[in-house]
Amino acid sequence: MLKGTNLTLRAVTRDDLPHYVEWFSDPEVTRHLLWFLPVNMDVETEWYERQLKDSSVLNFAIVITATQKHIGSVSLGKIDHKNQVAELGIVIGDKTEWGKGYCREAIRLLLGYGFNTLNLNRIFLHVFTENIAGKKCYEHCGFKLEGELREATFSNGKYINHYIMSVLRREFLSK
Ligand SMILES: CC(C)(COP(=O)(O)OP(=O)(O)OC[C@H]1O[C@@H](n2cnc3c(N)ncnc32)[C@H](O)[C@@H]1OP(=O)(O)O)[C@@H](O)C(=O)NCCC(=O)NCCS
């Protein structure tokens, strides 16, 4: 369990899954995500069970400490122990909690865990170029722009470019 000023990151539980069904069924939430399939409890249960057995993925539920409200999910995936690299993903699924700095706090907590506990060296992510809030949040957290993938995803009737961003352990620790 990771604790910040306002947020706690804890293991995902089965009781959290209905929230994932709600969030991943909302086009406003999935607009900037690679996810595009319909979800129900069967899909989420299958995902939950699969990730429990997958040592290359770590998923955390994002919870507001004061109220224990579950507002989102943040993850490290494709964990590569040889090269000490992982990919970060985040969703603040509860739209009423957008714009309150929770993305920033959750990512900083996860970066601390990734670099100081998992001994990672590079944490990277993909963000759609039109995801202004996401890009801004990652920049605040120290991610640097590495490049742009052209027309990497087809979504909502058009091709979308992705930025690739990353932060290195030495950069994170020097802040
Ligand atoms: C992207 C997302 C994680 C941001 O979470 P959040 O908690 O609202 O983000 P924060 O409040 O920490 O910070 C977002 C920043 O973007 C800014 N922002 C938000 N919407 C914006 C907009 N439309 N235009 C410009 N800036 C915007 C905020 O003001 C804030 O910047 P500031 O700290 O300089 O004021 C959240 O909106 C989300 O989960 N969206 C759906 C899924 C998603 O896009 N995930 C990321 C995939 S890469």
pLDDT tens, the chain, 175 aa long: 999 999 999 999 999 999 999 999 999 999 999 988 999 999 999 999 999 999 999 999 999 999 999 999 999 999 999 999 999 999 999 999 999 999 999 999 999 999 999 999 999 999 999 999 999 999 999 999 999 999 999 998 999 999 999 999 999 999 7
Pocket test residue of 137, 149, 162, 164 for ligand 1, highest count of atoms within 8 A of CB:
137
Ligand 1 midpoint to CA 104 (Å): 9
For each of the domains in the chain, give its residue range(s) and CATH number, in order of start.
Answer: 2-173 (3.40.630.30)
Tell me, what's the pLDDT at 175?
77
User: Counting atoms of ligand 1 from 1, which one is nearest the CA of 105?
Assistant: 12
Selection from 98, 102, 85 nearest residue 167 by Cα: 85
Tell me, what's the pLDDT at 58?
98
Name 2's bridge partners: 9
Task: Mention every residue, 6+ apart, whose C-beta is less than 8 A from residue 4.
Answer: 65, 105, 106, 108, 109
Tell me, what's the pLDDT at 110?
98
